Amino acid sequence: MATYVLVHGAWHTGELFEEVAAPIRGAGHEVHLPTIAGNRPGDEKTIGLAPAIASIVDYLVSNDLSDVILLGHSYGGMIITGVADAVPERLRRLIYWNAFVPNDGECLNDMVPPHYVALFDAVSGQSSDNSVMLPYPIWREAFINDGDAALAQSSFDRLNPHPYATFTDPINLKTNPADMQVAKSYINATSDTALPQSLGWHPRLSEKLGLFRLVQTPGSHEMCFSDPAGLAEAIMAAGRD
Amino acid sequence: MATYVLVHGAWHTGELFEEVAAPIRGAGHEVHLPTIAGNRPGDEKTIGLAPAIASIVDYLVSNDLSDVILLGHSYGGMIITGVADAVPERLRRLIYWNAFVPNDGECLNDMVPPHYVALFDAVSGQSSDNSVMLPYPIWREAFINDGDAALAQSSFDRLNPHPYATFTDPINLKTNPADMQVAKSYINATSDTALPQSLGWHPRLSEKLGLFRLVQTPGSHEMCFSDPAGLAEAIMAAGRD
Amino acid sequence: MATYVLVHGAWHTGELFEEVAAPIRGAGHEVHLPTIAGNRPGDEKTIGLAPAIASIVDYLVSNDLSDVILLGHSYGGMIITGVADAVPERLRRLIYWNAFVPNDGECLNDMVPPHYVALFDAVSGQSSDNSVMLPYPIWREAFINDGDAALAQSSFDRLNPHPYATFTDPINLKTNPADMQVAKSYINATSDTALPQSLGWHPRLSEKLGLFRLVQTPGSHEMCFSDPAGLAEAIMAAGRD
């Protein structure tokens, strides 16, 4: 059986993946749900990308995890790319689930349409701590379009303000993802419009991985809430062997 | 419960949506199926786009409908865009189902590949009343590709010649769809080849809506015949809240 | 009932389609599974495209088959296009299943990304007979991404070295596919990454057919192994009437 470490996206925490982890654990695997520094209760929101990545490296090291299948969701793609660059010897496979795939020197905002960057700049500028939240209408229509209104609201209520510097800091990599020797998968939820599909996740970002295993699944950007069982199936298909 | 008004596409009438309406009514909603001026039995085929739009505005007003979820299919996207511009106060949400999304000054033919325009020009030119029909082979292969031959023929037999001026008249709008304040959804049937998918419905036309809720569903351009229950599910997902 | 002739892709043989043929036969149809010259046990691997096409023409003629629904998979698209050009009078419909669609003068390598051409050049150059094999990691990740590791390995073990000249020889056609009078379908497996989806099968190659019937199905490039029943359903939907 395998060891999965699932790394959440912006505004999320690890515990929001509990319903995804349950069926994976039910299939006999070990599943870890760390929360990235900056998204833990009480964390400073001024944290940048490097310490955010370091917090997941530390999690793997302090728990002495090896042969890990490491998944990143959305912003989590920045994190797992940095982790893979730092401790490749601990990893069996990377899984990007509708996630950003950076090359050396790129930041998350480099892969986002200009109207989102303008929105994030404005929202973070009005905060006292350079944090950013997603306006509810965007969450409801573009992120969790496959859920009903009650689920959209209850999941939104569980989000936390995100440290905006992690979107604007460029990543430092020794090796770009296409050249990493670790095995790679990309899960694409076919109704995900968190990025406009004209400028979407797959194949635009997925193909930055070089050789990778594609798993497509129906669903939105927030299948962790709207279809956790379907997401768990996709993860296990992406992660097997 | 909600009030749905479903506006058909070119060559269709409202009654062709009866099998779609049934499960929506079964879920407790009110469903209206008006036929656009120009497609009603006995209508002049020389009618243009403005009176076609006006006929659906009149339908909403004369039935005093409000808080309406207004769906348009294909050509019906021209109609509901015009209706939303005229009587926004009567609408809760627009749903485009593989439908044209015009900005001010655009006509339907502006969003269609040149070989279709050439075909429509030729067919309408040979008619006595500037009407256009779709050749059966195109209907069978590109419009109802998910149906069997018997369904393709029986549905084709229920179509009526379409007033071609509604394809060539530019629409007059005070507000373009992206700037309309009403909520918007786009339903995309993933095997719809009524427009070639290289120049397709989604995301090319859907993203003209600005913020919108995407619902993808398996099926062709003519799910009203080939999968009315599946279409009804998609409509209710697109229309909820 | 209809007569289906299923033409395999590179590295395959006809017998690898037995599990696909079974449900089609079960529905009452006649199914033939010829193996293209160059892929039969003992065949010279130096054979070019013209004799490969001729071997399937010969199969139709020697078995006196008519009103045939002729399917080609991948490289098999080169073959059925050539067959349709040679003996159109024997055909009812062409079905391309994630297959190459050549115009006159094109070779398969003209439709493949440069890094695959470079790989094939290198591998064939190291062979003694100008044959090419696919490295297992590419097979596992990009061709049979929807199968488990055991199926990936067992199916790989049944492949045979492919005559590389059939990828580099241009095809000679009197009529390009878009102008052929025979009916045409294209089956697209939506998780097929044998070609990168940014440069994919559909709609880039499918639309070279002109008017065609699209059938989309979940699955990888190797549904003949990973979901033969699903593939058989798609073939019968593509081939009916």
Tokens of B195: 């427009």
| C-alpha separations of B119 from B38, B114, B116, B123, C198 in Å | 20, 9, 5, 6, 31
Residue B226 has what pLDDT? Answer: 98
Percent of chain B with pLDDT over 90: 100
Cβ of B173: how many Cβ atoms within 10 Å?
Answer: 19
The number of angstroms, rounded, from the C-alpha of B85 to the middle of its chain's C-alpha atoms is: 16
Asked if B135 contacts B161 with a C-beta cutoff of 8 angstroms, the reply is: no
Helices H / strands E in chain A, number of each: 9, 8
Tokens of A11: 């505004």
Nearest one of B14, B53, B18 to B34, comparing CA atoms: B14
Cβ of A17: how many Cβ atoms within 10 Å?
Answer: 25
pLDDT band, residue B201 (cuts 50/70/90): very high
Average pLDDT over residues A91-107: 98
- Asked if the C-beta of A148 comes within 8 angstroms of chain B's C-beta atoms, the answer is yes
Residue C81 has what pLDDT? Answer: 99
In angstroms, the separation between the Cα of residue A192 and the nearest Cα of chain B is: 8
Asked if A217 contacts A190 with a C-beta cutoff of 8 angstroms, the reply is: yes
Cβ of B42: how many Cβ atoms within 10 Å?
Answer: 4
Residue B228 has what pLDDT? Answer: 98
- Asked if the C-beta of A131 comes within 8 angstroms of chain B's C-beta atoms, the answer is no
Asked if C42 contacts C106 with a C-beta cutoff of 8 angstroms, the reply is: no
Cβ of A122: how many Cβ atoms within 10 Å?
Answer: 10
Residue A34: cis peptide before it, omega within 30 degrees of 0: no
Q: Phi and psi at residue A228, in whole multiples of 5°? A: -60, -30
Residue B176 has what pLDDT? Answer: 98
Residue A151 has what pLDDT? Answer: 98
**Contact residues on chain C for A211, CB-CB shorter than 8 A:** 137-138, 141-142
Query: Most A CBs within 10 Å: which of C134, C188, C191, as the mutation test of the A interface?
Result: C191
Q: Alpha-carbon distance B14 to C17, whole Å?
A: 46
pLDDT tens, position by position, for chain C (241 residues)? 999 999 999 999 999 999 999 999 999 999 999 999 999 999 999 999 999 999 999 999 999 999 999 999 999 999 999 999 999 999 999 999 999 999 999 999 999 999 999 999 999 999 999 999 999 999 999 999 999 999 999 999 999 999 999 999 999 999 999 999 999 999 999 999 999 999 999 999 999 999 999 999 999 999 999 999 999 999 999 999 9
- Asked if the C-beta of B211 comes within 8 angstroms of chain A's C-beta atoms, the answer is yes
Asked if A193 contacts A186 with a C-beta cutoff of 8 angstroms, the reply is: no
Residue C139 has what pLDDT? Answer: 98
Residue C106 has what pLDDT? Answer: 98
Residue B173 has what pLDDT? Answer: 98
Q: Which of B152, B196, B218 sits opposite C203 (nearest CB)?
A: B196
pLDDT in tens, A114-144: 999 999 999 999 999 999 999 999 999 999 9
Q: Alpha-carbon distance C198 to C186, whole Å?
A: 18
- Asked if the C-beta of C146 comes within 8 angstroms of chain A's C-beta atoms, the answer is yes
- Asked if the C-beta of B193 comes within 8 angstroms of chain C's C-beta atoms, the answer is yes
Residue C165 has what pLDDT? Answer: 98
Residue B221 has what pLDDT? Answer: 98
C-beta pairs of A130-134 under 8 Å, 24+ apart in sequence: A130/A45, A130/A46, A130/A163, A130/A164, A130/A165, A131/A45, A131/A161, A131/A162, A131/A163, A131/A164, A132/A10, A132/A161, A132/A162, A132/A164, A132/A167, A133/A11, A133/A159, A133/A161, A133/A162, A134/A11, A134/A159
**Contact residues on chain B for A136, CB-CB shorter than 8 A:** none
Q: Phi and psi at residue C190, in whole multiples of 5°? A: -75, -15
Domains of chain A are: 3-239 (3.40.50.1820)
Q: Which positions ≥6 away from C117 have C-beta within 8 Å?
A: C109
pLDDT band, residue B10 (cuts 50/70/90): very high
Residue A107 has what pLDDT? Answer: 98
pLDDT band, residue B106 (cuts 50/70/90): very high
**Contact residues on chain C for A204, CB-CB shorter than 8 A:** 198
- Asked if the C-beta of C216 comes within 8 angstroms of chain A's C-beta atoms, the answer is no
- Asked if the C-beta of C196 comes within 8 angstroms of chain A's C-beta atoms, the answer is yes
**Contact residues on chain B for A197, CB-CB shorter than 8 A:** 202-203, 207, 214
**Contact residues on chain B for C204, CB-CB shorter than 8 A:** 198
**Contact residues on chain A for C152, CB-CB shorter than 8 A:** 241
Cβ-in-10-Å burial (0-12, 13-18, 19+) of A178 comes to: middle
Residue B233 has what pLDDT? Answer: 98
Average pLDDT over residues A29-40: 98
pLDDT band, residue A215 (cuts 50/70/90): very high
CB contact under 8 A, B237 and A146: yes
Tokens of B57: 């505005």
Residue A165 has what pLDDT? Answer: 98
Q: Which positions ≥6 away from B31 have C-beta within 8 Å?
A: B4, B5, B6, B21, B24, B25
Residue A150 has what pLDDT? Answer: 98
Q: Which positions ≥6 away from C133 have C-beta within 8 Å?
A: C11, C123, C159, C161, C162
CB contact under 8 A, C191 and A207: no
Q: Alpha-carbon distance C136 to C145, whole Å?
A: 12
Residue B167 has what pLDDT? Answer: 98
pLDDT in tens, C28-47: 999 999 999 999 999 999 99
- Asked if the C-beta of A201 comes within 8 angstroms of chain C's C-beta atoms, the answer is no
Residue B71 has what pLDDT? Answer: 99
Tokens of A25: 């654990």
CB contact under 8 A, B198 and C212: no
**Contact residues on chain A for C141, CB-CB shorter than 8 A:** 183, 211-213
Query: Most B CBs within 10 Å: which of A193, A199, A227, as the mutation test of the B interface?
Result: A193
Strands B183-189 and A91-97: unpaired
Average pLDDT over residues B234-238: 98
Asked if B10 contacts B162 with a C-beta cutoff of 8 angstroms, the reply is: yes
Tokens of C148: 């488990």
